[in-house]
C-alpha cells in the first residue's frame, strides 16, 4: 500500500485522518542550514484552524532564524506534500510546512521552501523559461560502525563496514569469506561482493511507497558500502522536498 497521498485541500486531509484512524500529524519544516525539524500534533486536535491559521513556534530556537525578542513564527501546511510515516509506531501523517511572519503573514525570507518558491517565480518572470527541473544524485554509505570525537587533546573519526577492503584480513565470526569490495572497484558488482543488494531493495520499496519514482539502485564505485538510488527529477521545491524525504527514509 502506497503511503504517498493525493490531497488537494484541508478537507481532504481531515477526511483521511478520520477515515484512516490517523493518530498524529507530524509537522515538518527545514532550518536554514538544511536540517529537517519536526513536532507532533495529535490528530484529534487537527481542525480547519491548523490549515488557515497555522502552528506557532519559537523561531529563536532554530538555527539561522529569529532573535529572541522577535521569536514568534508561523507554520502553514502544504497538503500536497503529505505522506504516511513508514517507521513510527502510531499511524502518523507527515506534512511539510512553510514558514510565515505571524504579524505580516508574508513568507519568511530564510525558509528554504520559500527561497525555492521565489527562485522558481523569478525564473518564470525573466521569460527564460517557465519551468526548471532538478534531479539529485543521491549517494550514501552503509556503515556498521561510526565513531568520532574532538577533545582538548585529541580528535578522530572511525568508520567500518563488513565489505570494506581494509577488512580482508580480519577474523570474522563463521570465518572471513573474503568477499570485500576493492578500492575503486565497487561499481555494479553482483552479490556476494555486493553485500547490500537486499537492503537497497527495501529502501527502494519504502521510497516508492512514499511517492518517489525510483529509476534504479546500485552499488557505487567506493568500497565500504557506497550506494546510489536514483529517482526522477522534478521542479525545484518539489525536488528539495524529495531530497528531505529520501534522507529521512534512508
Query: Over the stretch 165-190, which tens digit does the pLDDT of each residue have?
Result: 999 999 999 999 999 999 999 999 99
Residue 231: CB atoms within 10 Å: 24
Domain shared by 97 and 151, yes or no: no
Q: What average pLDDT score do residues 190-195 get? A: 96
Reduced to 3 states (helix: H, G, I; strand: E, B; else coil), residue 107 is strand
Distance CA(229)–CA(138), nearest Å, equals: 6
Region 140-155: what's the mean pLDDT?
A: 98
**246, part of any domain:** no
Question: What crossing angle do the helices spanning 112-126 and 236-249 adopt, rounded to 10°?
Answer: 150
Q: Say which residue, 123 or 5, is predicted with more confidence.
A: 123
pLDDT of residue 3: 63
Per-residue pLDDT averaged across 100-104, rounded?
93
- Asked if 239 contacts 135 with a C-beta cutoff of 8 angstroms, the reply is yes
How many angstroms separate the CA atoms of 31 and 110, rounded? 8
DSSP H or E run through 243:
helix 236-249
Over the stretch 122-135, which tens digit does the pLDDT of each residue have? 999 999 999 999 99
Q: Say how far apart CA 156 and CA 149 lie, in whole Å.
A: 6
What average pLDDT score do residues 153-168 get?
97
Co-location of 48 and 101 in the same domain:
yes
Biggest distance spanned by C-alpha atoms of the chain: 66
In a domain, 126, yes or no: no
Question: Cis peptide before 192, with omega less than 30 degrees from 0?
Answer: yes
Residue 174, pLDDT score: 93
Report DSSP state, residue 174: T
pLDDT at 70: 87
Q: Distance from first CA to last CA of the chain, Å, rounded?
A: 19
Q: Is the pLDDT of residue 2 over 60?
A: no
Domain that holds residue 224: 136-232
pLDDT average, residue stretch 147-163: 97
Question: Is residue 238 situated within a structural domain?
Answer: no
Mean of pLDDT over the chain:
95
Q: Say whether pLDDT at 150 is over 60.
A: yes
The proportion of the chain whose per-residue pLDDT surpasses 70, expressed as a percent, equals 98
Residues 6+ apart with CB under 8 A from 89: none
- Residues 145, 182 within the same domain: yes
User: For position 9, what pLDDT does the model report?
Assistant: 95
Q: What is the pLDDT of residue 4?
A: 67
Residue 37 falls within a domain, yes or no?
A: yes
With respect to residue 90, please indicate whether it lies within any of the assigned structural domains: yes
Instruction: At 237, list the grid cell.
Output: 521545491
Domain membership flag for residue 117: no
Q: How confident is the model at residue 224 (pLDDT cuts 50, 70, 90)?
A: very high
* Distance in angstroms (rounded) separating the CA atoms of residues 138 and 148: 24
- DSSP structure class, residue 33: T
Q: What is the pLDDT of residues 39-84, one digit of tens each?
A: 999 999 999 999 999 999 999 999 989 999 889 999 999 999 999 9
Does residue 92 lie within any of the structural domains? yes
Q: By the 8 A CB rule, do 223 and 229 touch?
A: no
Q: Is the pLDDT of residue 114 over 80?
A: yes
**Distance, CA of 116 to CA of 108 (rounded, Å):** 12
- 237 in a domain, yes or no? no
Count of structural domains, the chain: 2
Q: Are residues 140 and 222 in the same domain?
A: yes
| For range 190-202, the mean pLDDT | 97
Q: Looking at the structure, do residues 70 and 153 belong to the same domain, yes or no? A: no
Q: Please give the order of strands across the beta sheet that includes 214-219.
A: 139-141, 226-231, 214-219
Q: How far, in Å, CA of 140 to CA of 223, rounded?
A: 12
pLDDT at 27: 98
Reported as a single tens digit per residue, the pLDDT across 239-248 is 999 999 999 9
103 plus 18 within the same structural domain: yes
CA–CA distance, 208 with 189 (Å, rounded to integer) = 24
Amino acid at each position: 500500500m502506497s503511503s504517498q497521498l493525493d490531497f488537494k485541500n484541508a478537507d481532504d486531509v481531515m477526511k483521511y485522518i478520520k477515515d484512516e484512524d490517523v493518530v498524529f500529524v507530524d509537522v515538518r519544516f527545514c532550518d536554514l542550514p538544511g536540517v529537517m525539524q519536526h513536532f507532533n500534533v495529535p490528530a484529534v486536535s487537527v481542525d480547519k484552524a491548523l490549515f488557515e491559521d497555522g502552528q506557532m513556534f519559537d523561531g529563536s530556537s532554530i538555527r539561522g532564524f529569529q532573535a529572541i525578542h522577535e521569536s514568534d513564527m508561523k507554520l502553514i501546511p502544504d497538503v500536497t506534500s503529505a505522506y504516511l510515516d513508514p517507521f513510527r509506531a502510531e499511524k502518523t501523517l507527515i506534512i511539510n510546512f512553510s514558514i510565515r511572519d505571524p504579524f505580516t503573514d508574508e513568507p519568511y525570507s530564510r525558509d528554504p521552501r520559500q527561497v525555492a518558491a521565489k527562485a522558481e517565480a523569478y525564473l518564470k518572470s525573466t521569460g527564460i523559461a517557465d519551468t526548471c527541473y532538478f534531479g539529485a544524485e543521491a549517494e550514501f554509505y552503509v556503515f556498521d560502525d561510526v565513531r568520532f570525537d574532538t577533545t582538548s587533546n585529541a580528535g578522530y573519526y572511525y568508520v567500518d563496514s563488513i565489505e570494506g577492503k581494509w577488512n580482508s584480513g580480519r577474523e570474522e565470526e563463521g570465518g572471513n569469506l573474503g568477499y570485500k569490495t576493492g578500492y575503486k572497484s565497487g561499481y555494479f558488482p553482483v552479490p556476494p561482493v555486493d553485500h547490500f543488494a537486499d537492503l537497497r531493495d527495501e529502501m527502494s520499496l519504502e521510497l516508492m511507497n512514499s511517492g518517489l519514482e525510483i529509476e534504479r539502485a546500485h552499488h557505487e564505485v567506493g568500497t565500504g558500502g557506497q550506494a546510489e538510488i536514483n529517482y526522477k527529477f522534478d521542479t525545484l521545491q518539489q525536488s528539495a522536498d524529495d531530497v528531505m524525504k529520501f534522507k529521512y527514509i534512508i
